[in-house]
Structures are given as C-alpha cells and as structure tokens.
C-alpha cells in the first residue's frame, strides 16, 4: 500500500461516497486492522458516522471484518485493502464490456450492482426493469423475465457471483482474495489461501425466484412525490424467495476478459485479422477450463480449433495449420505447441504474452518521453541484458557523446540500472566494469506507481476545475431547474428565452470549455487505467509464477 495508492483511494472514496467515508477509509488503509474504538478515537468522527461509513465500505466489499487478534471475544477488527477501492476506477470499462456483450439490459444490471455493492437478484431485476421502462416509449414496459434471462446469462458466464454467506462468529469475508486469513482465530482454515467467493459450491447457482411482472414507469411528478415513491418501492413487502442471497460483480472474470482482449488485439496488430480470430477461438474454448492464474491454457488440438472456428471464417484445414505454424514461429510467442496428437496440440502462452505486452508498454513510455533514439538504447538493453557503454554506442550506432547523454538521463530516471563488476576487491573505478542493464519487473512496478500518481493528479485537476467554476455551475443548474419548471407548467416562449438569457454568452463559452475539460480528464483517466491494467496483470502473473 504505497503512498500513491492511498492518495488515489482517498480521492476515489471522496468522489463516490463523500468525505466522511474518505477519512475513515484512508485511516484504515494507513493503519491496518483496527477496531471501532480506535477508529473513532483517531479520526475524531462521531460513532454514528463511523458506523455508517464502515457499513458503506463493507457493502461494497472494500472492508472486511473479523474478530480481533487477541482471541475470541475481543472487538471485531476492520481492515481495508486498496485493491478493491482501485477497482472503482475501472467501473466504466466493466459497464462498457457488459454493454457490448449483453446489450443494454446487461449494462444496467452491472451498473446497478456496481453502484449498490451487493444486492439480491429480485431487487436488481426490479430496479433494472424500472429503469429500462423509463427509457422506452410510452405504453411499453420491460418484462421481468427478459431481465431475468439476462441475469442468468451473466451468472452462467461467471460475470456475477454470489456473495459468500457470513457464518456466525467466524465470518468468512467476501472481499478481494488479497485479504489475509485471520491469523489468530482458532478455527481459522489451516491453508494460507484466503477463502474466496469461489470456494463455495453455490457460487454460481441461481436461486429459484418467483418474479412476475413488468417494470413500472415512474411518472413525471414533483420532486417531493418522486422521493416518496422511491421510498415506497424500497419498502415493498413482496418477497421472492431469495432473501439473504446477495450478488456481486465478479471482477476477476472481467479482468480475464480484458486480458484476452488485449492478447487478441496484440495478435491482430502484429499479424493479421485471421490469426487474431484463431487466437480468439482458442481463448474462448479455454475460458472455463483454465484457472485464472495459469500461465498458459490447456492444450487444444487443431481438430477442435478447426471445428470451433466461427462459420464466417471459411478457411480450409491446411490453411489453418499454416496459420498455427506462423503463430508458433512468431518471436512474440503468443501460441506454443504442446504436442503432436490430434493434429497438433496448441496452447496460448498467456504469461509470455502479458510479459511482451508489458515490455511494449515500457518501450512506448520511453519512446514518447525521451525520443526514439533513447528507445533504441532501451530496447537494445532489454535484448542484450548487460552491456558496457562502448558496446551500447557500437550496437545502437549513435555517436558517443549523445549515447552517453541518453544513458545518463535514463539512469537518472531509474529506467536503467548500473551493475558493477569489480576486477579488484577494492572496487576502484578504473578497475571496475560498469554494465548497463534493464530489469523488467522492477521497472514495471515503478511505472505502475507513476500511473497511480498520474490518475490521482487527473482527478485532483478535475475537482479543481469544477471547484473554480462552482459559482457558474450552480447558476446554470438553477436556470435549468427554472426552465424545467416553467416548461412543465406551460409558460410562453418569451419567458423561456428570458430565462435562458440570464446566462451570458461568455459564460456559456466558459461552461462549454469546462465541460470539454472535464470530459478530457475523464477519458484520460480511463486511458491510464488501461495501462494500469496491463502492468498489474503482468506483475501479478509474474508474482504467481515465480
């Protein structure tokens, strides 16, 4: 939990849940596992508010609780992990993926679950149906069964999973797998692997739910009435047979999907469309048979691949074999050959593909930041591991002075390291070899921290820009509200134009510019998040294989 991660988590919590939750959350992040009294004492927030913030954090899976370390009977301790909070950054990507795969219904289901943290199936379906109905034309409404079927499909493909039940005195947590197993609890599981939601057999079982009806359209009425209606909907006393079974979004599955997409697009860039289709088929076939931390998929025979290819790609069998051979010969080693049975057994090397993608990311950062010649030196050092300065100049064909300059710049930014090999025990500089080298994993970690800092900077800038124009924004909001109420009560066009003119033209321009700025900052955050995802996957994959 580095300082940059804590800062970014704080900003995300503030944006999504408010300042009180931010204070409690950052305090937990910095302080490790603490009990309620400590939190209250050290943050100075009242008991009530702390309790509510902890509820919010637990609801979203960011905080886990367990009985204290001093033995059963000591107060429960709460612990937060920054991984789960950093996922908030990726919500737009999850929602977009759900939209591309399952349409609007899927998108709304995922959005609701992300916003609420945990929710029962019936609750989700009803809310989503209502929302969809609102966006449809008059007279049409969304049937619950359609939404249910979308929900089933999401569960089938493991994008949604059940929250593991909390069991009495020894709560098994449903937070990220990174949460440690309770150390002092006597009945704690012996294995050090933390209990994940997937260790429960019913994880993906959809309960039998009686849910019949259609979405209700919310009528356009006064604000106050809306509030009351909303409250009434929540206290709906209908039961549907699935109380206590909450569902949450399975982030790991989404990450696997993103990883597959990254590999497929890399293959498409490097080779051609058909090869990427073949790799896509192979990955699709091994979606459920491969564990998330495996370095390569299970071997697939060429016959199976041939049969599973989409029918639009009408390539004859020998051509498929040629494509597979080309994929194997490619230096990027996306696909490997694991045997000869069944026409050739092929695997997708995920760990190696991730390593290559991470390496390409590092190279691209060096290229954009320092120029293509420095990128040449960087790639040269990645290939040849250790080189003396003279050798670097010779291989890269860059004049000595410039090469020296570039190497020293890279060294000062810590992208390149020096390895000393002494000829004499006293490390005298004239009698020591100095070799330049690049270590991919530590450099990736460093860049990841830079990414976190960048995103935090972007968020802060966005908040700053909104704060600067706060007065203007409030004014425009007031005017919009007035306009809406005038329109609803049927005013004449002159009154409307009069109200509209209350915003002067330069102010309109300012508002427009502000809107553009905020959009730009938002999209930049998403782009940096893509880099974060690649680097994180690479680091996790390397850590689990080594």
Partner 1 sequence: MAEVKVKKETNLSDATEVENRIKQLCQQFPHGITDQVIQNDMPQLEPQQRAMAINKLLSLGQLDLLRNSSGLLYRMKDVQSASKMKGSDNQEKLVYQVIEDAGNKGIWSRDIRFKSNLPLTEINKILKNLESKKLIKAVKSVAASKKKVYMLYNLQPDRSVTGGAWYSDQDFESEFVEVLNQQCFKFLQSKAEVARDSKQSPMVQRNSSFATSHEVWKYISELGISKVDLSMDDIETILNTLIYDGKVEMTVIAAKEGTVGSVDGQMKLYRGVNPVIQPTGLVRTPCGLCPVFDDCHEGGEISPSNCIYMTEWLDF
Angle at the Cα of 323 (from 269 to 287), degrees rounded to 5? Answer: 75
Q: Which residues are within 8 A (CB) of 397 and not within 5 positions of it... i.e. 6 or more apart? A: none
Q: Which residues pair with 347 in a beta bridge?
A: 336
Q: Tell me the closest approach of the beta carbon of residue 270 to partner 1, in angstroms.
A: 5
Q: Which residues are within 8 A (CB) of 466 and not within 5 positions of it... i.e. 6 or more apart? A: 473, 514, 518
Cβ proximity to partner 1, 159 vs 538, nearer residue: 538
CA-CA distance, 360 to 354, in Å (whole number)? Answer: 10
* C-alpha of 32 from chain center: 23
Q: Tell me the closest approach of the beta carbon of residue 40 to partner 1, in angstroms.
A: 27
Cβ proximity to partner 1, 262 vs 491, nearer residue: 262
Q: Which two tokens stand for residue 358?
A: 């991470």
Residue closest to 290 by CA, chosen among 282, 279, 280, 301: 282
Cβ proximity to partner 1, 176 vs 531, nearer residue: 531
Cβ proximity to partner 1, 307 vs 369, nearer residue: 369
Beta carbons of 85 and 13 less than 8 angstroms apart: yes
Beta carbons of 84 and 176 less than 8 angstroms apart: yes
DSSP string, 395-458: HHT--HHHHHHHHHHHHHTTSSEEEEEESSTT--GGGEEEEEE--HHHHHHHHHHHHHHHHHHH
Cβ proximity to partner 1, 275 vs 297, nearer residue: 275
Q: Tell me the closest approach of the beta carbon of residue 20 to partner 1, in angstroms.
A: 20
Cβ proximity to partner 1, 214 vs 461, nearer residue: 461
**Please, what sign has the CA dihedral across residues 276, 280, 282, 286?**
positive
Cβ proximity to partner 1, 63 vs 387, nearer residue: 387
Q: Which residues are within 8 A (CB) of 115 and not within 5 positions of it... i.e. 6 or more apart? A: none
Q: Tell me the closest approach of the beta carbon of residue 265 to partner 1, in angstroms.
A: 8
Footprint on this chain of partner 1 (rule: CB under 8 A): 265-266, 269-270, 272, 274, 319, 322-323, 325-326, 329, 331-332, 356-357, 360-361, 363-365, 367-369, 372, 375-377, 379-380, 383, 395-400, 402, 447, 450-451, 453-454, 456-458, 460-461, 464, 513, 516-517, 520-521, 524, 526-531, 534
Q: Tell me the closest approach of the beta carbon of residue 470 to partner 1, in angstroms.
A: 14
CA-CA distance, 225 to 215, in Å (whole number)? Answer: 19
Cβ proximity to partner 1, 441 vs 521, nearer residue: 521
Q: Tell me the closest approach of the beta carbon of residue 451 to partner 1, in angstroms.
A: 5
Q: Tell me the closest approach of the beta carbon of residue 28 to partner 1, in angstroms.
A: 21
Q: Tell me the closest approach of the beta carbon of residue 258 to partner 1, in angstroms.
A: 13
Which class for 295: exposed (0-12), middle (13-18), buried (19 or more C-beta within 10 A)?
middle
Q: Tell me the closest approach of the beta carbon of residue 452 to partner 1, in angstroms.
A: 11
Q: Tell me the closest approach of the beta carbon of residue 432 to partner 1, in angstroms.
A: 19
CA-CA distance, 437 to 417, in Å (whole number)? Answer: 5
Q: Which two tokens stand for residue 514?
A: 């502000």
Strands 63-66, 119-120: pairing kind: unpaired
* C-alpha of 26 from chain center: 20
Beta carbons of 64 and 58 less than 8 angstroms apart: yes
Cβ proximity to partner 1, 179 vs 447, nearer residue: 447
Cβ proximity to partner 1, 37 vs 369, nearer residue: 369
**Please, what sign has the CA dihedral across residues 140, 145, 149, 152?**
positive
CA-CA distance, 295 to 298, in Å (whole number)? Answer: 10
Cβ proximity to partner 1, 383 vs 431, nearer residue: 383
Q: Tell me the closest approach of the beta carbon of residue 533 to partner 1, in angstroms.
A: 9
Q: Tell me the closest approach of the beta carbon of residue 271 to partner 1, in angstroms.
A: 8
Cβ proximity to partner 1, 331 vs 493, nearer residue: 331
First to last CA, the chain: 21
Q: Tell me the closest approach of the beta carbon of residue 457 to partner 1, in angstroms.
A: 4
Helices (H), 117-184: 121-135, 144-156
Cβ proximity to partner 1, 527 vs 544, nearer residue: 527
Angle at the Cα of 380 (from 374 to 384), degrees rounded to 5? Answer: 150
CA-CA distance, 290 to 350, in Å (whole number)? Answer: 11
Residue closest to 333 by CA, chosen among 273, 256, 266: 266
């Amino acid at each position: 939990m580095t300082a940059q991660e804590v800062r970014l988590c704080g900003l995300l919590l503030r944006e999504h849940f408010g300042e009180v939750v931010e204070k409690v959350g950052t305090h937990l992040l910095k302080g490790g596992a603490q009990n309620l009294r400590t939190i209250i004492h050290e943050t100075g927030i009242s008991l009530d508010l702390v309790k509510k913030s902890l509820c919010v954090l637990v609801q979203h899976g960011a905080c886990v609780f367990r009985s204290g370390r001093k033995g059963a009977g000591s107060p429960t301790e709460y612990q937060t992990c920054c991984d789960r909070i950093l996922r908030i950054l990726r919500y737009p990507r999850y929602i977009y993926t759900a939209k591309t795969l399952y349409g609007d219904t899927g998108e709304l289901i995922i959005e609701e679950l992300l916003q609420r943290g945990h929710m029962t199936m019936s609750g989700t379906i009803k809310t989503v149906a209502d929302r969809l109905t609102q966006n449809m034309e008059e007279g049409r409404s969304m049937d619950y069964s359609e939404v249910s079927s979308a929900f089933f499909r999401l569960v089938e493909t493991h994008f949604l999973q059940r929250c593991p039940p909390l069991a009495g005195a020894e709560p098994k947590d449903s937070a990220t797998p990174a949460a440690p197993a309770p150390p002092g609890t006597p009945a704690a599981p012996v294995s050090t692997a933390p209990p994940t939601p997937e260790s429960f057999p019913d994880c993906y079982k959809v309960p039998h739910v009686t849910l019949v009806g259609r979405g209700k359209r919310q009528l356009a009425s006064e604000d106050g009435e809306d509030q009351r209606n909303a409250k009434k909907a929540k206290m709906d006393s209908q039961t549907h047979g699935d109380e206590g079974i909450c569902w949450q979004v399975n982030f790991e599955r989404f990450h696997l999907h993103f990883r597959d997409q990254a590999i497929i697009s890399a293959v498409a860039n490097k080779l051609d469309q058909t090869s990427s289709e073949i790799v896509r088929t192979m990955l699709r076939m091994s979606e459920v048979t491969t564990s998330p931390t495996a370095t390569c998929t299970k071997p697939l025979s060429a016959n199976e691949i041939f049969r599973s290819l989409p029918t639009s790609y009408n390539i004859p069998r020998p051509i498929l074999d040629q494509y597979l051979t080309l994929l194997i010969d490619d230096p990027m080693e996306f696909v490997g050959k694991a045997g000869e049975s069944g026409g050739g057994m092929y695997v997708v090397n995920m760990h190696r593909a991730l390593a290559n993608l991470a390496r390409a990311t590092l190279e691209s950062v060096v290229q954009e930041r320092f120029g293509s010649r420095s990128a040449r030196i960087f790639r040269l050092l990645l290939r040849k591991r250790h080189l003396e300065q003279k050798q670097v100049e010779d291989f890269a064909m860059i004049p000595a002075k410039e090469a020296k300059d570039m190497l020293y710049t890279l060294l000062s930014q810590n992208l390149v390291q020096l390895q000393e090999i002494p000829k004499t025990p006293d490390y005298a500089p004239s009698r020591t070899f100095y070799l330049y080298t690049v270590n991919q994993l530590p450099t990736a970690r460093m860049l990841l921290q830079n990414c976190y800092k960048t995103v935090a900077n972007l968020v802060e800038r966005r908040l700053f820009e909104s704060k600067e124009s706060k007065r203007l924004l409030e004014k425009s909001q007031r005017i919009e509200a007035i306009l809406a109420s005038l329109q609803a009560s049927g005013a004449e066009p002159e009154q409307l134009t009069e109200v509209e003119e209350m915003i002067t033209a330069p102010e309109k321009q300012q508002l427009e510019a502000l809107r553009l700025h905020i959009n730009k900052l938002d999209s930049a955050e998403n782009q940096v998040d893509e880099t974060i995802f690649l680097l994180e996957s690479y680091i996790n994959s390397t850590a689990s294989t080594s």
